[in-house]
Every structure is written in structure tokens, then in C-alpha cells.
Amino acid sequence: MAQSSTSRSATRATPVPLLDLSRQYAFIREEVLAAIERVCSSQHYILGEEVEALERELAAFCGAAHAVGCASGTDALWLALSAVGVGPGDHVITTPLSFFASASAIVRAGGRPVFVDVDPHTLNLDPAQVEKGLRAGTSTHLRAVLPVHLYGQCADMDAFQRLADEFQLALVEDAAQAIGASWNKRRAGSMGLTAAFSFYPSKNLSAYGDAGIVTTNHSDFAERMRRLRSHGSPKRYLHEELGWNCRLDAIQGAVLRVKLPYVEKWNRQRRERATNYDRLLTQSGLTAATGDRPVRVLASEPRAHHVFHQYVIRVQRRDDLRQFLAERKIGTEVYYPIPLHRQPVFAYLGYREGDLPEAERAAREVLALPMFPELTDDEQQWVVESVAEFYS
Ligand SMILES: Cc1ncc(COP(=O)(O)O)c(C=O)c1O
């Protein structure tokens, strides 16, 4: 692992991006170009054999019976929620610390998001808080619960399953950031009634454009989603309900089929990079367990197999640190600076500052460091040295 000081100083002169997809492309270029050529030669661009094959392969990968390809993770969420029956007037519990689509898809399906606070250790939706709200009976019209597997770590699906059973709620996974992750040895995508994945280019399994998929063990939900993604049409020019056009295209399907066999390896490399960050941060003294240390590492739950879509730390003076790192051309990002209950578009829901304090605190403190399978030891060392220098 040790690298020479010559190579380390060479790295220092170069930027460390948050994500560098060109390194992955160099590795799979020939296979990807052959797959795209295969689609172009077939002249079959929407759904078809490539998408059907991806659906089979992805379902097997997740341990689910069915997968339904669609145009994005946002569409996948809308399909997943609609299929389990979320519609006008239905309330859906979800987390305030997620990408906007987790909540907007609820509204698109006709429902109303009910935000519940996050666990401060993992930043995933907190089942204890959800249970408290359910027992207090504060929300009527509850139809579903939508935990998000944030940053690649599954939410506590045992607890959510128990609550869903007791309170008769549909359990839907937002697995957009968690392909290959698992909870208690069950893969993301196999635990909820339906589960939505995104293949946005930055994801652990990523397309060359927008793409998504929904998994389910229920053939009736799968059938319904196949209709909904094609204008509610069971056969050409017959429309039984109002759907939408959110089909997956064959080029994305073919690219994803090239990449899927590598996901386990890439996730393993991400986990190694995360362990390396943990070690470097500890060695630097930035994260000592006691005292007022400037950096805190998020908890990895022992029951979770975390795939580190992001490596996120909580820090003091976050925005100044981010600026300092940017001046060194070290890429960082904030997931997410405004919790969903404080987004202007959701003002009508009536939440106020202070209603969900853990999510609000996290939004002020979180910082994602560079994370991708090909990140080098030297680059990580330079990132951590730079963080240490900022706080020295
Ligand atoms: C948690 C989460 N949900 C939903 C989405 C939406 O996916 P997409 O951007 O593919 O529409 C994303 C990704 O951006 C996400 O991170």
C-alpha cells in the first residue's frame, strides 16, 4: 500500500475529483462500444430484448422476482408508489434527508409526504421516530412508508417491516443509491413490496444518460408497472388507465448489462476506499471518539452491507472547509443542504424550522468526500491531509 513520496507529491499537483467516470470508461470502453453497436445494428431502440434481458439479470442480482425498466429513478419511484396503490389523499411517510425525488414522486402519485426525522448516527429514516408518530396516531390516511437507503446503507428494514405489518402500510424502498447493498443479508430491492433504483450517471451502477428500474416479488405489481410506463396500455392503442411514457431505452439497457457484472467488484473497492478513509481520519486525530473533534464519521450498521455510494462525514465549519478544499481542487458535495420539509415547494405542508432537528443539523454538517472505485491511496491521503491542515 505504501507509495513513494515522489508519486505522492505528483498527485498533490493534480485535482481529486468527487467522481471520475473516465477511469471506469477506460476499463470497459470496448465492451460498451460493442454493446451500443449491437443496439444500433438491431435498430430496436425502446424496450425490446436488451431491456428484457437487463430486467431478468437485475432482478436475479437483487433477489427479486421481477424488474421493470423505466426512464429514471424518479419515474421508478412514481411507478413503485402507484403500483402499491398510493393515490390522491394518501399520506406516505418518508425521510427529509434525501434527494428531492423521494418526496416529489409521492406528490406526483397524488399523495402527501409525511416527513419523520432521521437517526443521527446513520442519517437514515429513524424507525423509532416513525413508530412514535404511528402510535400517537398523528397522521390519518397513511398508506405507505418509503425509507431511503441513504448513501448506500440500507435503512433498518426489519423495523420498517414490523411497523408496515402492524399498521397495514405498503413498504416501498427508495434504493436509488443502494444497488448491491443489503440488510440482514437481504439485498436492497428484495425487501419492500416494490423498490426503485436510479442509474443516473453518478450512481454505483450507472447508465450513459437517465435510466431507472423497479423491482418487486409480486407479478401483479410488475404487470401494472409495465402498463403504467407505456401510457397505461396493455396492448397497442388500448388505454385502460392514465399512465405516462417512461420506458427504458435499449442503449441504456445494453450499457447497464455490460456494467452489472462488475458492480460487486466496484462495490467492494468502494468499501475498501471507505475503510481507508476511516483509518486515515483516525490516524490524523480528526475523529477521536472523545473531546470536541472537528470531524465525525457516520455509523455503519453491523446488519447493513454498506456500498458507499457516498462517503460522508459530519464536520464543523463545513462551508469554509468546502471552500478550502475547492481551492486545492478537491471535489466535495453536500447531500443535502436543504432538508425536504424546508423546500419552498413543500411550504404548503406546514413544517417549520426546528420540526425535524436531526435532519436540519445534518444538512448544516454533512460533506461528501471523493468516492469512486478507482480512487487511489495517494488521493485519499491528500484529501485527509488537506482536511487536517484546515483544522490545524
Ligand atoms: C435517493 C434518491 N432517490 C431518487 C433519485 C432519483 O433518481 P433519478 O435522478 O434517476 O431520477 C435519486 C437520484 O438522483 C436519489 O439519490
pLDDT tens digits in sequence order for the chain, 392 residues long: 334 444 455 456 689 999 999 999 999 999 999 999 999 999 999 999 999 999 999 999 999 999 999 999 999 999 999 999 999 999 999 999 999 999 999 999 999 999 999 999 999 999 999 999 999 988 789 999 999 999 999 999 999 999 999 999 999 999 999 999 999 999 999 999 999 999 999 999 999 999 999 999 999 999 999 999 999 998 889 999 999 999 999 999 999 999 999 999 999 999 999 999 999 999 999 986 666 789 999 999 999 999 999 999 999 999 999 999 999 999 999 999 999 999 999 999 999 999 999 999 999 999 999 999 999 999 999 999 999 999 99
Buried b (16+ CB within 10 A) or exposed e, 45-68: eebbebbeebbebbbebbbbebbb
| Predicted pLDDT of residue 13 | 63
Alpha-helical runs (H) found in the chain: 5-12, 21-42, 48-62, 73-83, 101-108, 127-136, 157-167, 219-228, 250-259, 263-283, 318-327, 357-365, 377-391
Residue 89 near residue 141 (C-beta atoms within 8 A)? yes
Which atom of ligand 1 is closest in space to residue 309's alpha carbon? 16
| Predicted pLDDT of residue 140 | 83
Closest CA to 306 of 160, 194, 178, 117: 178
In this structure, the residues whose C-beta lies within 6 A of any atom of ligand 1 are 72-74, 77, 98-99, 101-102, 148, 174, 176-177, 198, 200, 210, 212
Strands of the 295-297 sheet, one edge to the other: 295-297, 311-315, 366-369
Residue 214 near residue 70 (C-beta atoms within 8 A)? yes
The best mutation among 99, 102, 340 to test binding of ligand 1, ranked by most ligand atoms within 8 Å of the C-beta, falls on 99
Tell me the pLDDT tens digit for each residue of 46-58: 999 999 999 999 9
The best mutation among 79, 92, 200, 213 to test binding of ligand 1, ranked by most ligand atoms within 8 Å of the C-beta, falls on 200
> How many A from CA of 229 to the centre of ligand 1?
17
| Predicted pLDDT of residue 290 | 63
Q: How far apart are alpha carbons 211 and 180 in whole angstroms?
A: 17
Closest CA to 1 of 281, 275, 266: 275
User: For ligand 1, atom 10, which residue shows the shortest CA distance?
Assistant: 73
